Structure 1
Amino acid sequence: MEFRILGPLEVVEGTERLDVGGTRQRITLANLLLDPNRVVTVDRLAEAIYGIALPPTARSQVQICISSLRRLFAAYGGADLITTQSRGYMIRVDEGRLDAQRFEALTLRARRARDAGDADQAVLAYREALALWRSEEALDGIESRPVQSAASRLTEERMTTNEDCLQLELDLGRHEQLIGELTQLVDRYPLRERLRGQLMLALYRADRRAEALQVYRLARQTMIEELGIEPNEQLQRLEHAILTADSSLDPPGKAAVISAEAPRAPSVTAVPFLLPSAIADFTGRRKQIDAIERELAIAEEDPTRFAVPIIIVAGKGGIGKTTVAVHAAHTVAGRYPDGRLFADLHGGGSRQVSPMHVLERFLRALGVPGSAMPESLEERAEMYRALLADRRTLVVLDDASGESQVLPLLPGTRTSAVIISSRSRLAGLAGALHVDIGVFDTDQSIEMLERIAGAERVRSEIESARALAELCGHLPLALRIAGARLAARPHWRIEQLVGRLADETRRLDELNHGDMGIRASLSLTYESVGEQARRLFRRLAILDSGVFSVWTGAALMDVPFFDAEELFDELADAQLIEATGGHGPYSAYRFHDLVRVYARECLAAEETSAERKAALGRALGGLLFLAEAAHRRAYGGDYVQIHSDAERWALPDKLTGALVADPFAWYEAERTLLVSGIRQAAHAGFIDLTWDLAVSAVTLFESRMYLDDWRETHAIALAATLQAGDVRGQAAMLYSQGTLKLTERRLAEASLDYEKALRLFAEVGDDTGTALVLQVMSLLDRVGGRFEQAMARARQALEIFTGTGDQVAAAYVLHNMAQVRMESGDSAGGESAGELLDQALDLSRQGGSRRVEAQVLHRMGHAHLASHEPDKAVEVFETALTMVRELGDTSGETYILNGLGVARLRQGEAAAAEDALHESVRLAVSTGDLLAEGRSLLALGEVAIARHDGERAVALCERALDIFRSISTPTFEERAVRLLEEARGMLAPAERMGETGELVG
C-alpha cells in the first residue's frame, strides 16, 4: 500500500486508488501521514478536524475516524497499519511507501552529491524528487487550517528544492533550456526573488540582456505595489552587474558546480551555552516536564525519524511558559553536549526580534566570524542548518509570535531539538508536541507562595494564603509577584496583601514588584493584536457574564458575525481570551480573572461612556432578539408572550436559525448572560430591555425550574419599572411573577399579583396582557374548585385570543377549559371535554407549537382515563412523552409520566406503572414541583393498594396529603383523603389502632 501527500491525498493498493472516506477521515489520515511512524495525539487530531473550539464529542469522533480507516486498510491486508498508543495513534509506513519520505531521501541524496562536487548526479536526484509532486500544494484540497499549515512546510521545501536544482543547472551552463521553466515559475510565484534572479541570469547568459533587465523592472514594480518595499540587495546587485556586463555573470565551467546560493558552513568548533540560569523555586509542572523528556527520548531512540523534534510550550502571558521551557531545557541538557542555544524573540510586543538577528547571534555563538556572516536570511539559515547537521544541540526559542518567526531557526536534522514557548499554539509546525500550560491548582499555588515567602509564614495564615491565590487567579506570574512582595515585607501579614488586592481597581497596581508586573505582561500581548481585536477585547469587559459567544462580540462591535469570529480567533491565539467549548456559531470564550481586570482598565481609558452604553445596548438587544427567536422555535411561534418596544440588534436569518436550532440548548448556554444582562439593563436605564428580557427568560426558567433565577430577575425588573413609572412593564412583571408564585404553589400570593396585573393591563388597554392574566386566573379557580368562575374567565380569554388570531394561546385556554369540564364532572352545558380538546389539538398543530400540543395530548390522556380507555390513554401519553423529551421540557415530562403511570396501572401493569411514577417523583423533587410530587405519590399509593400492600399505601397517601395541604389544593386533598381511607381499610384492626388505642379512619 502506498500513500501520497505531495498533491491531493491518495492511498493506492496496486493499481487501485482507495476511497478514504469523508472530510474527517481525510483530515485524520493526512495528520497521521504528516508524521509517519510517530504518535499523533488525539488532541492534535481533534484540533485539525474542528479547530480550537472542540465539541464535547471531539475525542469520540476521532476514534470513529480511526475505526473507519482501520476497516478500510484491513480490507486490503493492512489491519495493523494504524496502532493505538498511550497519547494517540500512529500510522506505520514502511520506507519508500510515502511519497514525502521518498522526496526527503532524494533531496538528501542530491545535497550530498552537490557537496561532493557531482552536480550532474545532484540534478538527477533533484529532478526525480520534484517529479513526485502531483500538484503545487501538499495535501491539496484538505480543508483544515492545521493540516494546511503543516503541509505548507512541504510545499516550501518543494520550492526551495526547485530553486536549488535550477541553480545547479545554471552552474552547469544549461541556461538556454531553463528559460521557459523559469518564466512559468516567476509568473506563478512573483514574490520569490531568487527565482527572479535565476531568470535574469539565464536570460543574460542567453544574450537577452534587455529582457533580463525587464524582469528586474517588473520585479521592482510588483514588490513595491504588493509589499511596499524595494527588491532585496542581492537582486539589486544582479541588476547592476547586468548593466555593467560584469564578467562574474559569465557561464562558469563545470568545475564551478557549487552554488553561491548554498554557502558551505565554515569549519568551526565553538560549543555555545546560552541558556539562562535554572529557576531555583520552580514549582509543579511535573506532568509537562515528563512529557517533554519522554518526547525527546523517543526522538533520540527512533532511527526512522528524520525530522527535528519540536516541542511547543503554549499558554497565556504570565502562565509560566518561559519557566517551563528553561527548566525542561536544563533537565534534558545532558542529551545535547554540542551546545544549547537560547533566544528571547519578544513575540508579544513591538520589540519582536527578527530571525535575521537571531541567526547572526547563533552563528557567532557557533564560531562564525563577522567577515563570514552571510547577508541574506536564506543564506544564514542554510549555514546554520549546515553547522548543526551533525551536532547534538538544543535550541530554546522563547516567546515566539508565529511560525514565520521560528521556521528559519529550526535545525535540519533529528540530532538537534527545539523547545519553543509561545502565546500561540503554532499549529503550522508539523509534528510538534504541544505542551499546554494552564493556571496552577490551589495546592500548587500555595507551594509557590511557600517557596518564595516562606513555608512557615504561609502555613500560619493558610486561609489568607488561599484567598491570595484566588485573587491572583492562580496565575504563576501573579503568585510570584505576590510572594516577592511578601518576602520583601516580612512585617506584612498575608491578610494585609489580600485586603489590598481585594479592590479590583487597584489589583494590577498591587501585582507589581521590581521588573515584574502583570499589567506589563498583558500590555505586551494587547499591543501585539490588531486595532479591531483590541477594541473587541476591551468591549467584552462591558458584559458582566463570564462567558462570551461570538454573536455577543458581533453586537458589541456592530460588525457581521464572521468578522467577529475572526477577531475572537485573533484574541484566542494571543491567549487574551480562552475557548471554553463549542464550535462554529456555538463557540464560547472567557477571560482569566486578571485579564478581565486589565480589559476593564483598557475599556475605561479608551472608550467613552457613550460608546460603552451603545455597545451594551446592542449586546442586550441581540440577546433579546435571540431569546425571542428561541421562544418561537420552542413554541412554534411568538405565543403567550408580552413584548416591549425595545430596540433589537438583529442577526441574519440563517445564523439565527443555526444558533437556536435547539432552543433550550441556546437558553442554557446563555443563561448567565440572561441573568446578568437583566441586571445590567436595569442599571443602564434600558427599562424596556430589562422587563422584556425578564419575560423572555421565563421560557428557560419555567421549563428547567430555575426558580432562583426567575425570582431574582423579576425582582430587579419590577423595581426598575416601578422607578421608571412604566405601567405596562409593571403589569408584565406582576403577571410573570404571579406565574412564578403559582409554580411554587404560593397560590394566594399569585392571585394578588394577577389581580394587580389585570388592573394595570386594563389601564393601558393591553388586550393580550389581559387575556394572558385571565387564562392563568382561570387555572387558579380550577385548582381551587371554583369551576364556574374558572370557565367564565377562560371564555373571556378565549374571546380575546380568537380575536387577535393567536391560535396557540387559544389552544392553551381550550385545553384548560377541558380540564375544568373533567374535574367538574362535565356536567355544565356547552362543549364536552373531548370536543374542547379536539379543538385545542387542531389549533396547536395549526399554530405549530409542539409544546402546547404535548400539553393538549396530556389532557387527552386523562380524558381517556376518565372514559375508562387505558389503552388509548397509554398511546397518547407515550406520544406526548416523546415530544416533551425532544423539547427538553422537564416540567411537562414530570406530569406526563404521572399520567402514564396511572394509565399503566389501569391496564394492570403495576410494575410499569411504578417505574413511570418513581421517575415522575424524582423529576418533581429535582425541580421542586410539590403538586407534581404529591400527585405521583398519591398514584404510587394506588399502586400499593393494587398490590395489597396497605402499610406502604398508607405511608404514600399520608405524604401526598401533607403536600396538598401545604399548597392549599382542596381537590387533591379530597382525593388523598379518600384513597387514604381505602388504604387504612386494608390494614388489620391492630395495625389501624392510633396512639389513643382507638381505630384510625
Structure 2
Amino acid sequence: MDSVDRVTVAKASRTAGQFFGRQRELKSLRADIGRAGLDTMAGRKGTRPRVLLIAGRPGSGRSALAGELVGQLAGDYPDGVLRARLTTPGGGRVPVERTARELLGALGVPAPAGAGEDELTELVREALAGRRTLLFLDDAVDAEQVDPLLPDISECLVVATSTGPLTGIPDVRPCTLGGLDTGSAVELLGRFAGAVRITVDPRTAETLAEECGGQPAALVLLGGWLAARPMLSVADVTQQLRNLPDEAEETEAVRPLARAFRFVYGTLPQPAARILRLLALAPAGLADAHTASALAGCSVSAARSTLEDFVALGLLRTRGELFEVPGCLAPLLRALMESQDRAAEVQLARARMLERTVRLLQSCRAITDPEGSAARRKLAGLPRTLRFPNAPAAAEWLRLREPVLLASARLAVEDGELDTLARRLVAALVRALSTHRGAEAAAPELYGLHQLVLGVAERRGLHRERAAALLNLADLDARTGRTRDALTRYRAALDAGRAANDPYATGRATESVGGAYQELGDWQRACDWYGRALSQRQARGELADESRLYGRLGSVHTYAGRYGEALRSWRAAVAGYRRLGDLPGQARALSEVARVQEYAGRPEESLRTCTEAVEWARRAGDERLQAALHLRLADTLERLGDSAAARLHRGSAERLLADSRSAYEIRGVSAED
C-alpha cells in the first residue's frame, strides 16, 4: 500500500483477539527500548530514536507482530503513530521521496511540489522535532529507505520490519522471526477452522501446524479453507496437503506458504481462480468491486461477492472499503498469472481496468458541473454503478482512492504498452484532482502526474504533449521558487512547441521565459523575450495578448528605471485595451502610466493621468478599482502638499469601499499572469 495512515492513541491499529503467540519476542522488543545505546555507553546524549527491527520472511507474521507492539506502545507516544509501507505489492522499493511526501501529508505539513528527496526528508525531520511520535515503517528493503526518515530526537521510536538486517543503521538488533510455537499455531488454526475440530483431533492439528512450518499466513489460509467446508476434518486437509507435490522452484523457507496457497487455490472454481490471479494487476495491491469486475469482465455484484469469499478464505484482507492482497501472496499471484494467462489476455484485462478507472474519474469530475450541462447529460447515460449521487460523494471516493489512483497512473505509464489509455487516465486524474481539491492544494500530486505525461510524450515522440507537460512542470517550479529550473523547462517547452508547430505552446513558452528572467532580475533578457512574444502575438493579430505583453514590458522597464520606454509600453497597452473595448484594462493601464510618471518626477502629469483612469474605472462600473485610484491620487496630493484635496479623495475611497474589506490591488499585468 502506498498510503500512510496517521493513527491517534485512541485509534491505534491493534486487532484484539487476532494475535497469537510471540510473547517472548514482544517482551524482548519492549526490553530493547530501554536498553542503553552506543551513545549512552559513550557518555553522550542520544540524538536519534531507538529503532526496533523485526526481521522475517513474508508470511511469518512480522507485520502482525509489529502492529501488536505498536498497539501496546501507542499510549506512551501522545503525538500518535505514523505508518508507511516501503515496498510495493510487486516487490519493488517505494522511493524515499514518495514515503516522505506521504508522511508529511499525514502530519499535515505541506510538501512543495517538485521538491527532491533531501528537502522532503529534512521537512519530515523538522516536523517530528519536538514530538513524541511512534513511526512504523513496514517491509523496508534496506537501510537507505529508513535512515533518511529517522527523526533527530531520541524521544521518538521507530518500529521497522524487513526481510533481513538493516545494515548501516547503528545500534539496531533485529528480532528474527521463525514459525509460531506449536500451541500458538494450533490456536490460530482453531480461530478460523473452529475450536471443535481442534479439540476432537489435537494431534492432527499439531501435525498440520508442523506442515505449515508454524507460518501464520499458511495457517490462516488452511483455517479459512476448513471454515468454508464444515463437513471436512483437520485430518482431511492434512492428508491432501501432504499429497500435494513439491514445486522445484520452492525453497525450504517459502515452501509451507507456497504449498498452502497452491492447495487453497486448486480448490477454487475456475472463474474465481481467474479473478484471484488477475488481482496481481491491482494497483498498490488494493482493489474494489469495480477493479475486479473490470479485470475479469464480470458484473460488479459478482465481483464483490467473490472478493468477500476471498476474505473469508484468508486470500485477501479488508482495508476500509477496499480489498488488499497480502504482501506475502502478491508474488504467488503474479507467478500464477504469468504461467496460466496468455499475455494478450492479461493486457486486455489491464486495459479494461484502466478504461473503467478513466470512466469513474470522468464521472467524479462531471458531477460537479451544473445541471443541464453537456458533461451532466453525458453522465446520465452511464450505467448506475459508474455514477455518483452528488459531488461530496465523488470527492470522498477520490480522497479514499487517491493513493490507488496515483499508483494506477504510475503503473500504466511504466507498462509502456497502453500509452493511449495511460494518457487518458492521467488527464482524467489531473482534472478530477484540480476540480475537487483545487490546483494549489493538489500541486504535489499534479507535479508527479505531469512528470508521467512527460515520460510518455518523450517515449512516443509527442512534441505537443511534451511541450504542455514541460510548461505545467515549469509553472509549478516557478511557484515554489525554483526559477532557474523553471527557466530550463520553459526553454525545453519552446523547443518542443516549435517541433510540434504549435503557436500556442511557442508563444506561451516564449512569454514564460521572459517572466523567469524578470523574476531573476535580468531586465535586459526579460525585455528581449517579452519582445519576441509580442512579435508573435502581433503576427497572429491577438490583440488582448498583445496589450498584456505591452504591460509586462512596461513593468520590466519600470523596474530597470527606464521610464521613457516604460511609458511608451504602457501607453501602447492603453491603446490596445481601448481598441478591445476593455474599460477595466484601460483604467489599470492608465493607472500604471500615472505610476511611472510619478517615478519619473512628473507629479502633475501623474495627477491628470490618474484622474483620467478614475473616470474610465467609473465607466467600467469597477468601484474597487475607483477606490484604489482615489487612494493613489490622495497619496500623490499629500506629497504635493495639498492635504485638503487628499482628504477628499480618501473620503471618496472610503465610501466606495464601505462594503469591501480591502482595496483593489492595481497590477501591471492581468490576473492570469
> Which of the two has higher C-alpha Rg?
1
Query: Normalized against structure 1, the TM-score is what?
Result: 0.29
Larger relative contact order, structure 1 or 2 (CA cutoff 8 Å, min sep 6): 2
